[in-house]
Amino acid sequence: MAAENQFEILVQEAKKYGKSLGIGPDFFLSLYNEKSDWAFIIQIDALHETASREALSRLIRVDGVEPETEDTAAEFVQNLNYQGRTSIIRLLKLAGVPKDTTEFVEHVRMIRNAYAHDIRALKRPIFEIINNRPERAKILRRVAFIEHYDEKKFLEMVERDPRMFRFLIIQQCMIFLFGLHQTFGRRGKRAKAVMA
C-alpha cells in the first residue's frame, strides 16, 4: 500500500476517534498550520492525554468491577498522574500498548515540559528543544519514527524543511489514536438492548 494511502486511512480513522473526543475534522490540518511549535506540541500532548484517559476509562468500565455510575471510572482515571510509576502511561503499557508508542507519548511530554517550564523556550523550534538534550538521537528516532533512521540524513531533511518534522509527529499521533481506537474503541460502550 502506498504511503499516501496509508496516511489517508490514518486521517480518516483519527477523525472517527477524534469525533468521540470532541475534535473537529480539521483539527490535524490546523495543528500542522499552527503558528508556533510551542502551541503545536502543547496541543499534541493534550490530545495524547485526553485520548489516553478516555481509552482507559472505557477499559476499566469493561474489565473492572461494575462502577457505581459511568462517571466513577472516568473520575478515577482523571485523578491519576499522567506519568510515573502509578500513572496513565503505565496503565497503557500494562494494557498492551506497544513500547515504541508509549515511548513516543513520553517523549512528546518531555518536549512539552521543556516548553511549559521555561518561558524562554516559547519561540524556539521543536528541533532546537530536542537538539539540546543529551538523548537527542533516541528522542528523534521515537518522535519521528522513521523505519530506517539515519540521523545525518534526517537532520539534513529537517534543516531543508522544518515542517516535515511536524508532519512526522502528527503522523505518529494519528497512529497512536488509531491504536487506542482499535484496542479500546468498542470497550466500555454499553450493549444495545436486544428485543425478545
Q: What is the pLDDT along the chain (196 residues), one digit of tens a residue?
A: 455 566 677 677 777 777 777 887 788 888 888 999 999 999 999 999 998 888 888 777 654 455 566 677 778 888 888 888 888 888 888 888 888 888 999 999 999 999 988 888 888 998 888 888 888 888 888 887 776 778 788 888 888 887 888 888 988 888 888 778 777 655 544 433 333 3
Three cell numbers written together for 168: 512526522
What is the spatial distance between Cα 5 and Cα 174, in angstroms, rounded to a whole number?
14
Picking from 176, 56, 154, the residue whose alpha carbon sits closest to that of residue 108 is 176
What is the spatial distance between Cα 145 and Cα 20, in angstroms, rounded to a whole number?
26
